[in-house]
Every structure is written in C-alpha cells, then in structure tokens.
C-alpha cells in the first residue's frame, strides 16, 4: 500500500543578506495512513521549516523550496497551482502551530475561526459550521462548548487555545495532521492531556499524525516511527522502539543520554552533547555533526555521510555503520 | 494597545543590541535603499551649497541692480532677478544656509531636551513621569503650525528666535518617543540583570538603556530635520523668521508669489529646493526606519 | 468598557483645562498692545481716552490671572467678546467661518482617504516590487512638498495657464454649488495630499505588520485564499493603528487649513487665525487656538473610543 505522504529529497533554502541558509537539505521520509511519525531535533535544526514546506507556506522572500518532491495521496504537491494547494490546506492536510496565542486571530471568535475551514472546504453555511464547531469543541474536551463558541481567544488559557487549534485542524477530517511543537508552550500536566487527546482523536478519525518536537519523551510514547533531524538533514530513521533501544547515530545517542530517566541509577550523571549547534552560514565540512562527535575519525571530517541502512527499517547517516 | 493615544508608544522599535548589528544596520539603511542613497546625496549637495555659497554664487545675493528688475532666466542670471534686481540664483544658494542652520540647531536643541526628559519620565516613572507627560500632552494638543506661528510672532523676527521657537515646541515628539522606547527596554531581562548586579540607576540609564533606545530617535531626528526646514520656510513665507535682506527660501517664494504671472520661476525655484531638502531627509529617514525596524524589513523581491 | 470611557473623559477635561492655560499664556506673550495696533489701523480709536476705555472694556488693565479666570468663565458661557480690530463679535465671526473650514476638512479627508488607502494597501501587497517603490516615493513626496509651494504651483498651472479653477476666493455653496466646488478643489486637494502620504505609509506598515503575524499563517494553513486572508483576517486588525494615524493627521489638516486658507483667500477659521496673529487680536486668537486644540483633543478622544470598540482585548481589560 502506497504511503499517504512520500517526501523525496526535499530542500528549502533561505536567501538572506548574510548568506545562503540550507534550512532543509534533501530530506526524505514517508508517512502511512493512520500512523504517527515523530520528527525530532533541537531548536533551529530545520524541522519546522520542513513542515511548513509540506504545506508550501514558506515566506518568499527570503525562502524557497528549491528541490525535491512531495507526494501526497499520489500527487506531487510542489507541482500544484496555488489554488489547488489551497484546497489541500486545512482540508486534506492540516497544521497545528505552537504559540497558540499568536496563532489565533485576536479579533475573531473561536467559533468563527474553527468553522472557517468547514465553510471554505465543505461548503457549510455559518450556522452549520457553528454546530459542527460545538461538536468539535466537545471532542477536544473544552467545557461548555456552546458558550465558548462566541468567545475571543484572549479569554482562553494556553491549554484551551491549543485544543482550539486541534479542533480547527480536525474540522474537515484531514488525512494528515502536522503538529508543530504542539505542547512546548504548555505546562507538563496539560502537555500529557493534550497528547493523549491527540492520540485518541487520530485513532478515532483514522488520521495520520506528524509530531514535530525536540522532546524525546513525547515521541517515545506516541510515535510509531521517528526521524531525527540535525542541521537541516535527517540523520537517523527507524521505528520508535529501535531508535530508543539502539540509536545508531552519535547525535541520537547523545540525545538519549542527556534525558533524565526514572529507571536509571540516581547517581548516573546526565551527559550533555559537547559543543554548539552548527551555524548554517558556516557549516562544517564532511559530516555536519563531526565537531561534536565523540567517535569522530578522519573520514567524518571529509565526506558527508548519506543515510545508510543498518537493519530493516533503520537507517543512520554515520560512517561508523560502514565497516 | 489599550492605553489612550496620549500614552501610546508610537513608533517604538524593538531594540537589538547596538553592537555591530546596530551600526551595520544603520549603514545598510543608508546605502542599501535607492531612495536613501538619493537622500544622502541631496543632503550632501545642499551642505556643499551652504558651506561654499560664496564660491558657488555668481553674484552677491544682496547686490541690487535696479536696471535689471524681474528679468526671467537668462545667460547672465540663470534664474533671473528679483524685484530689486538681485540675482535669484545667488539668493537661492545662500538661502540654503538659513534653512540648514535653522534645521540643525533647532533639531539639536529639541532632541537634547526631549531625550533627557523622555529618559527621566520613562525610567523613573511616578511623579516625574506624570508631570512631564502632562506637559507633553498639553503642548501636543495645539497643532504645530499655529503654535509656532504664534510663538514666532511673539518672539519677533530673527534667526535665533526662529530656532528658539522651533526648539521650544519640537522637543515633545522626541520626549514621547524616548519615553515609549525606555518603557519597553527597561523591562528587558538584561536590564534587570544589570540592576541585580548592583549597577546604579545612572549607569543603567546611560550604558544599558540609552543605546537601545536610539533607533527610533535616529529615525525621528532625520525626519524632523525635514519637518523643521519646512516649518522655517513656512514661517519665512508668513514674514516671520529671518529678516531682509537675508535670503531665505520661504521669503523668496513669498515675494515671488506676487509676480507669479510674469516671472513664475521666482517662486517655483525656491520651492523646488525646499521640497528637495525635505524630501532628502524623509527618504533617508525612511531607509533608516526600514533598516532598523526588523518588522518592516523586506529581504528583497520574490525569488524566482 | 464604561470605566474606560469615563477615564478618558475625565482626562480630556483636565487636558482642556491645561491647554486653556497654555493658550492664554501664549497669546499674552505676543508683544505689542493690541489696542495700539488697532488704533494704528483705525484712526477713530486713536484718542487716548477711547483707548483707555477700550482697554478697560477688554479687561486688559487687570492683572493677568484675573484676566484668565474672566476669560475662561466667559468662554464657557459662549461670550467670546469682540474683535479688537473690527469690533465684530467673535462668535459671529466664528459661526460665519466655521462651515467654510468644515467644508475644507471634509474635502481634504475625502482626498486623503481616496489616495492614501489604496496606495497603502497596494504597497503592502506588492511589497518591495517596483510598484511599491514608486508608490512609496510618491507618498514621501506627498508629505514633503510644502503646502504653500504646492499651492503656488497649482495656482500657476490650473488658474493662470489653464484657467480651470479660480486662483483664489471662495463661493458659498448655497450661492452657487458648481462654483463652490471649483473654488475648493485645489485647496482641499493640497490639504489632502499632505495627509494622504502619511496615511499611505501607515496603512502599508500596518498591513505589513499584520501580515507578519502568526495568525495569518494559520489562516493560510486552513486553505484560505489570499483575497480571503486579506479581507477577513488582515483587514480589521490592520485598521487599528490606522485609527491612530487619522487622529495624528488631524493636526496636520489643521495646519494645512491655516496655510491654504491664507493662500487662496478663503474666509475660514484658519485665515481668521492668521490675521489675528498679525493684528495681535487677542480675543479672536484665543478663541481660534482653543477651537483648534479642542478639535485635536476631541479627535484623539474619538479615536481612543473607536479603539475600544474595535479591539475586543481593550473592552475586557479596561
């Protein structure tokens, strides 16, 4: 069965006054119907940019998708016209943003904003839309949905706003929801609630979910497969179980080691990854991670590794895996 | 934005560290945009004109030749002569001296007053803030032109009085901008950190706050230079400001108005210069604003 | 919301009071004895006794602060006294000239909106294109041209060369509506272009600011086409700062009125003010300045209240 989403060698570059930034450099991965995929990496590694590229929401200037293909439901999104793309957005593929306060229109009611995609794509009238809206708000567990529909975003708490965004995303029953750092702006308890909610909803609606985050804990629990991103490239891919049990890239290893875990000995020290994330304007030669790598050897400094299959469904871009 | 207009922090710009980024941005602002390049070029020319007026002007601007009254442009007199036979070109060239002098001095004094008061009001808050801002609000209720008109008439003619009149009224704008900027900057974490480290109020004000409040002030200064030059010429037009025989663009324009049908160039020419001067400063200010305010920055045209 | 309105109103009253003091002091700064100035113009008054009588009549022989209190009381009651130069009641002069200036204001606002809004919006939509650069340059030129010079050029081109519009003078609307329109065409346009440039710049930057906000990205992510994004998402929030600039540019309109009425010999309040400055006509000048300041203050109050209506966040927090 063909994957719902197939990204092939996608590249998005930013042409700034200070130089060329290859925010996304030839990444490839798939997402299948109904599955949850995690895209993990630290801040600034390009994961959000890659997500925006899927919906072709990259601001131009200064950014531009310069290469690759994005096959969604069999069509290459990069070849669609803008109008055709508008039909996909919010309808077949929806995105949930972080910072829900800024991502919601302050002068429009919640009801208006949630029912908007319903009106645009499903042709509903305002009344029909608002009715569906109440149902959606109930799904995302917002209390008193019938009154909330007429409220303005600034009256909501952070968690409620994020739930609103989820409701907005679910409205047209999309095949894929992209959640960009959905819980970063929230406290831990709310985070857990929201993630459970999203997991249940995607299961109930049969929606595929792409979770973009820097938080390993989230992907460990909720994702089926994981892609690890570093400096604009995917450097490891595999099932969640594989990646956690047996990370094959030093960066992924480093990420695991720097996360505190309840099942570790309390005296065991947290090991941070040495060094700084690379400057996109001044990338290291060879493997982009090599300046920070504890296993570095000569080949790493010279040749940039591509993703190398190690086990079935587990690849890593590291010369250590090549004997 | 829920404060009343009087409190509104118009034009406040989010600060960036004025280290290399700031100066680089300023230089970029001046030279990147075509418009501000044009502006700087014109300002340079006007300066040149003012400083080297004696060398550039073909005649003594006050030399009257009653046999050659109100001639149109000719080989001898490129812009013609005025109603008592003085060469118009020379008068226009010398007029730049008045405009630039008034502009720079009045803006300079206004900025000094306004920035200091704005800093005090914004940083100290409390009573000082209240008193200063009430004064600012009261002054700003009366539109600039009528206000300057009455004040200039009250002070009497002369270069110094015009500068004084403009300065006495012009500081309010800078004060408000400065205060708005200070209010925004003083909440920033690194100011808190400086305070926690024991820095005195004075030191904080000058070393930490001040540099980061400069951006909108710089823009405002540039644009005010244009505005004050315009006001000076308006006052001259009304007969206030510098007195005969000193040439001033506004005054020439006024005299020329009476002879509009016969010698249109008499009033058109000085006006072109006033417009150019104001335009140049506005172009420059616009470029600076685009460079210093990150929200307005455009990185260029669409990339194909 | 009600608290907000009341707070603003109280502040306005205080401000008015302070401004009245300022105006009174300002006018008194004018050198020269107005009675003497009037006497020079009108030799009937030159007799010393008449002058002394006039002085007493106008209260000019009392201490300054007493004069202020008297003036304030009279002003509020609508007793605005008589012009020192012409002897006409100031109230009559005011009422006579008010509609003229109002007409100019309306015309100028019309031009300002007509030119300013489209220029600003197009500039924002086509940001950094050649068109944007052209429009930006035009806007800056619009605010840079001195009104009196623009007037001269217009008069020369349209009155002297082409004889389309009268070079000066004003015809009342009910006397002849066509001639009225002709006579205000140039003055209102000149007044309007000054504000149009400012408005265009503000509209443009306001739209750009709104476009850079995250919620616009969300709207696009929902599949809204660009025209919908502009109309239904960007427009209302972008209008908020524009309300501010309308308040700001009101002051410019007033200044413009002074110049334009003077140049085109239009018998409005601006002309009245200019004449009063030169004739040291205190009663008239005081009234004009207060009216002008009142105009600006009320405009700002109005804008603040409109802000309260437009921005739901203000309603709740204040």
pLDDT tens-digit series, residues B163-197: 998 998 889 989 988 888 888 777 777 777 777 77
Asked if residues A5 and A70 have their Cβ atoms less than 8 Å apart, the reply is yes
What is the nearest CA distance from B163 to chain A, expressed in angstroms? 42
The beta-carbon neighbor of B275 closest among C146, C254, C274 is C146
Nearest beta carbon to residue C212 from set B2, B143, B295: B295
Backbone torsions φ then ψ of B124, nearest 5 degrees: -80, -30
**Which residue would you say has higher pLDDT here, B294 or B218?**
B218
Cβ contact C137–B35 (<8 Å): yes
B262 reaches C (C-beta below 8 A): no
Share above pLDDT 70 across residues of chain A, in percent, rounded to a whole number: 99
Instruction: Tell me which chain C residue has its CA closest to the CA of residue A86.
Output: C223
Cβ atoms B115, B173 nearer than 8 A: no
pLDDT, tens digit, for every residue of A81-117? 999 999 999 899 999 988 777 889 888 899 999 999 9
Confidence tier at C36 by pLDDT (50, 70, 90): low
Q: What pLDDT is stored for residue C315 in this prediction?
A: 54
Q: Grade residue A174 by pLDDT with cuts at 50, 70 and 90.
A: very high
The phi, psi pair for C84, rounded to 5°, reads -70, -35
Q: A99: Cβ–Cβ under 8 A, 6 or more apart, which residues?
A: A185, C214
Contact C152 B301 (CB under 8 A): no
| Residue contact A16–B299, C-beta within 8 A | yes
Return residues 133-172 of A near B (CB < 8 Å): none
Rounded distance between C-alpha atoms, residue C71 and residue C85, angstroms: 18
User: Does B17 score more than 60 pLDDT?
Assistant: no
Band the pLDDT of C73: cuts 50, 70, 90.
Answer: confident
How would DSSP label each residue in B230-295? HHHHHHHHTT-SS-TTS--HHHHHHHHHHTTTT-THHHHHHHHHHHHHHHHHHHHHHHHHHHH-GG
Q: What is the pLDDT of residue A85?
A: 92
B66-77 tens-digit pLDDT: 777 777 788 777
CA A20 to CA A280: how far, in whole Å?
8
Tens digit of each residue's pLDDT (9 = 90 or more) over A112-151: 999 999 999 998 898 999 999 999 999 888 888 888 898 8
Residue A161 forms contact with C (CB below 8 Å): no
| B76 CA to centre of own chain | 35
Per-residue pLDDT of B95-145, as tens digits, reads 899 999 999 999 999 999 999 898 888 887 788 888 999 899 889 888 888
Q: Is the dihedral of CA A173, A174, A175, A179 positive or negative?
A: negative
The pLDDT assigned to C61 comes to 66
The phi, psi pair for A75, rounded to 5°, reads: -105, 145
In angstroms, the CA A57 to CA C188 distance is 44
Contacts of C274 in chain B (CB under 8 A): 149, 238
- Asked if B303 and A17 come within 8 Å (Cβ–Cβ), the reply is no
As a whole number of angstroms, the distance between CA A247 and CA A317 comes to 11
Residue B298 at interface with chain A, using a CB cutoff of 8 Å: yes
A-C interface: how many C-beta pairs under 8 angstroms? 75
**Do the beta carbons of residue C20 and residue C72 sit within 8 Å?**
yes
Contact call for A152 and C313, based on CB within 8 A: yes
pLDDT of residue B10: 45
- Whether cis (ω within 30° of 0) applies to the bond prior to B245 is yes
B2 chain-C contacts, CB cut-off 8 A: 307, 311, 313-314, 317-318
Three-state DSSP state, B12: coil
- N residues, chain C: 318
Please compute the mean of the pLDDT values over residues B201-230 and round it to a whole number. 80
Q: Which range is most confident: B186-190, B244-248, C39-43, C168-172?
A: B244-248
Q: Which residue is closest to B8 within chain C, CA to CA? A: C244
- Check whether A68 has a pLDDT greater than 80: yes
**pLDDT at residue number C313:** 65
Please name the residue of chain C whose CA is at the shortest distance from the CA of residue B299.
C128
Binned at pLDDT 50, 70 and 90, residue B226 comes out as: very high
Residues of A in contact with C221 (CB under 8 A): 55, 57, 89-90, 94-95, 97
Question: Taking Cα atoms as reference points, which of C287, C162, B294, B234 lies closest to residue A16?
Answer: B294
- What's the whole-number mean pLDDT along residues C200-204? 87
Residue B11 pLDDT grade (very low, low, confident, very high; cuts 50, 70, 90):
very low
Nearest to A52 by CA among A14, A106, A107: A14
Judged against a pLDDT cut of 60, whether residue C318 lies above it is answered with no
Chains with at least 3 CB pairs less than 8 angstroms from chain B: A, C
Whether A136 contacts chain C with CB within 8 A: no
pLDDT digits (tens, 9 = 90+) for C141-196: 888 898 889 888 888 888 878 877 777 777 777 777 788 888 888 889 999 988 89
* ipTM score for this prediction: 0.86
Q: Which two tokens stand for residue B270?
A: 């000085």
Distance in Å, alpha carbon of C139 to nearest chain A alpha carbon: 24
The mean pLDDT value for A305-310 works out to 86
Q: Which of A107, A120, A165 sits opposite C311 (nearest CB)?
A: A107
**What is the layout of strands, in order, in the sheet containing A63-72?**
A19-31, A5-16, A63-72, A75-76
Is A17's CB within 8 Å of B298's CB? Answer: no
Identify all chain B residues contacting C317, using CB atoms and an 8 Å cutoff.
Answer: 2
Q: Tally A–B CB contacts below 8 A.
A: 18
**Residue A64 to residue B298, Cβ atoms within 8 A:** no
Predicted pLDDT of residue B1: 31
A166-193 per-residue burial string, b: 16 or more CB within 10 A, e: under 16 = bbbbbbbebbbbbbbbbbbbbeeebbeb
Q: Between chains, do C152 and B226 touch, taking CB under 8 Å as contact?
A: no
Helix axes C235-263, C177-211, angle to 10 degrees: 140
pLDDT value, residue B205: 61
Question: What pLDDT sits at residue B15?
Answer: 46
Rounded mean pLDDT of chain C? 82
Burial track A37-70 (b if 16+ CB lie within 10 A, e otherwise): bbbbbeebbbbbbbbbbbbbbbeebbbbbeebeb
**C80-103: average pLDDT:** 83
Between A216 and B50, whose confidence is greater? B50
With beta carbons less than 8 A apart as the criterion, state whether B118 and B184 touch.
Answer: no
Please tell me which chains touch A, using 3 or more CB pairs under 8 Å as the contact test. Answer: B, C
Tokens (6 digits) for A317: 């871009």
List, in order, residues 6 or more apart from A158 with CB less than 8 Å away: A100, A101, A185, A186, A190
A17 chain-B contacts, CB cut-off 8 A: 28, 299
Residues in A touching C219 (Cβ below 8 Å):
105, 116
Residue B3 predicted with pLDDT over 60: no
């Amino acid at each position: 069965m063909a994957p719902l989403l197939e990204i092939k060698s996608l590249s998005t570059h930013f042409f700034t006054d200070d130089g060329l930034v290859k925010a996304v450099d030839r990444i490839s991965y798939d997402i299948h119907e109904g599955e949850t995929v995690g895209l993990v990496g630290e801040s600034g590694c390009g994961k959000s940019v890659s997500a925006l590229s899927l919906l072709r929401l990259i601001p131009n200037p200064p950014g531009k998708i310069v290469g690759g293909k994005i096959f969604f439901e069999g069509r290459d999104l990069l070849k669609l016209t803008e109008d055709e793309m508008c039909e996909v957005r919010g309808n077949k593929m929806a995105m949930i943003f972080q910072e829900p306060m800024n991502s919601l229109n302050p002068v429009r009611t919640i009801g208006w904003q949630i029912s908007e995609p319903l009106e645009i794509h499903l042709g509903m009238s305002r009344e029909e839309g608002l009715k569906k809206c109440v149902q959606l708000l109930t799904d995302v567990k917002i209390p008193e949905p019938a009154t909330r529909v007429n409220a303005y975003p600034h009256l909501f708490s952070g968690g409620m706003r994020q739930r609103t965004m989820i409701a907005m995303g679910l409205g047209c029953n999309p095949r894929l929801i992209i959640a960009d750092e959905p819980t970063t702006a929230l406290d831990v308890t709310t985070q857990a609630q929201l993630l459970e909610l999203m997991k249940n909803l995607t299961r109930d609606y049969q929606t595929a979910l792409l979770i973009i985050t820097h938080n390993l804990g989230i992907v460990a629990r909720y994702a089926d497969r994981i892609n690890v991103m570093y400096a604009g490239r995917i450097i490891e891919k595999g099932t969640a179980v594989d990646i956690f049990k047996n990370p094959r890239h030093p960066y992924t290893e480093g990420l695991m080691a720097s996360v505190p875990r309840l099942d570790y000995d309390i005296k065991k020290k947290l090991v941070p990854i040495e060094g700084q994330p690379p400057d996109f304007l001044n990338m290291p030669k060879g493997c982009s991670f090599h300046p920070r790598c504890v296993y570095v050897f000569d080949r790493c400094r010279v040749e940039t590794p591509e993703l190398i299959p190690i086990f079935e469904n587990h690849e890593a871009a590291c010369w250590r895996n090549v004997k | 934005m829920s404060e009343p207009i009087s409190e509104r922090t118009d034009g406040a710009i989010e600060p960036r560290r004025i280290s290399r980024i700031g100066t680089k941005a300023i230089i970029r602002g001046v030279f990147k945009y075509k418009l501000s390049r044009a502006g700087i070029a014109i300002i340079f020319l006007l300066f040149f004109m003012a400083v080297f007026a004696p060398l550039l002007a073909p005649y003594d601007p006050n030399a009257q030749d009653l046999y050659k009254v109100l001639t149109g442009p000719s080989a001898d007199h490129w812009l013609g002569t005025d109603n008592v036979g003085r060469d118009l070109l020379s008068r226009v060239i010398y007029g730049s001296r008045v405009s630039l002098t008034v502009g720079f001095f009045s803006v300079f004094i206004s900025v000094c007053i306004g920035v200091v008061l704005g800093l005090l009001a914004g940083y100290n808050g409390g009573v000082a803030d209240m008193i200063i801002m009430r004064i600012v609000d009261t002054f700003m209720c009366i539109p600039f032109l009528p206000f300057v008109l009455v004040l200039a008439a009250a002070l009497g003619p002369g270069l110094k009085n015009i500068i004084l009149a403009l300065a006495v009224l012009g500081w309010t704008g800078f004060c408000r901008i400065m205060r708005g900027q200070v209010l925004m900057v003083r909440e920033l974490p690194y100011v808190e950190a400086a305070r926690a480290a024991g820095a005195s109020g004075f030191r904080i004000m000058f070393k930490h706050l001040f540099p980061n409040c400069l951006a909108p002030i710089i823009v405002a200064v540039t644009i005010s230079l244009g505005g004050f030059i315009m006001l000076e010429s308006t006052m001259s037009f009304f007969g206030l400001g510098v007195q005969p025989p000193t040439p001033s663009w506004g005054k020439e324009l006024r005299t020329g108005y009476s002879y509009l049908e016969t010698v249109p160039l008499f009033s058109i020419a000085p006006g072109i210069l006033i417009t150019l001067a104001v335009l140049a400063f506005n172009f420059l200010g616009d470029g600076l604003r685009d460079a210093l305010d990150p929200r307005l920055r455009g990185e260029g045209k669409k990339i194909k | 919301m009600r608290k907000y309105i009341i707070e603003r109103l109280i502040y306005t009253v205080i401000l008015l009071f302070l401004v009245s003091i300022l105006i009174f002091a300002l006018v008194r700064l004018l050198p020269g004895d107005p009675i003497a100035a009037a006497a020079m113009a009108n030799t009937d008054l030159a007799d010393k006794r008449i002058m002394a009588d006039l002085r007493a009549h106008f209260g000019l022989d009392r201490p300054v602060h007493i004069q202020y209190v008297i003036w304030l009381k009279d002003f509020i009651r609508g007793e605005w006294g008589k012009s020192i130069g012409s002897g006409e009641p100031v109230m009559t002069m005011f009422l006579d000239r008010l509609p003229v200036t109002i007409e100019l204001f309306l015309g100028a606002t019309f031009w300002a909106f007509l030119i300013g809004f489209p220029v600003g919006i197009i500039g924002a939509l086509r940001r950094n294109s050649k068109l944007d650069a052209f429009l930006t340059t035009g806007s800056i030129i619009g605010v840079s041209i001195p009104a009196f010079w623009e007037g001269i050029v217009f008069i020369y081109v349209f009155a002297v060369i082409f004889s389309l519009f009268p070079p000066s003078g004003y015809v009342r609307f009910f006397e002849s509506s066509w001639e009225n329109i002709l006579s205000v065409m140039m003055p209102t346009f000149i007044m309007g272009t000054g504000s149009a440039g400012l408005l265009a710049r503000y509209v443009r930057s306001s739209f750009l600011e709104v476009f850079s906000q995250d919620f616009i990205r969300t709207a696009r992510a929902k599949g809204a086409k660009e025209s919908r994004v502009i109309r239904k998402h960007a427009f209302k929030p972008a209008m908020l700062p524009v309300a501010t600039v309308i308040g700001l540019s009101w002051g410019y309109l007033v200044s413009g009125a002074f110049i334009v009425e003077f140049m085109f010999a239009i018998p409005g309040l601006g002309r009245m003010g200019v004449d009063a400055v030169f004739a040291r006509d205190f009663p008239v000048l005081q009234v004009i300045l207060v009216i002008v300041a009142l105009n600006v203050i009320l405009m700002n109050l109005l804008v603040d209240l409109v802000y309260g209506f437009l921005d739901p966040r203000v309603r709740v927090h204040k």
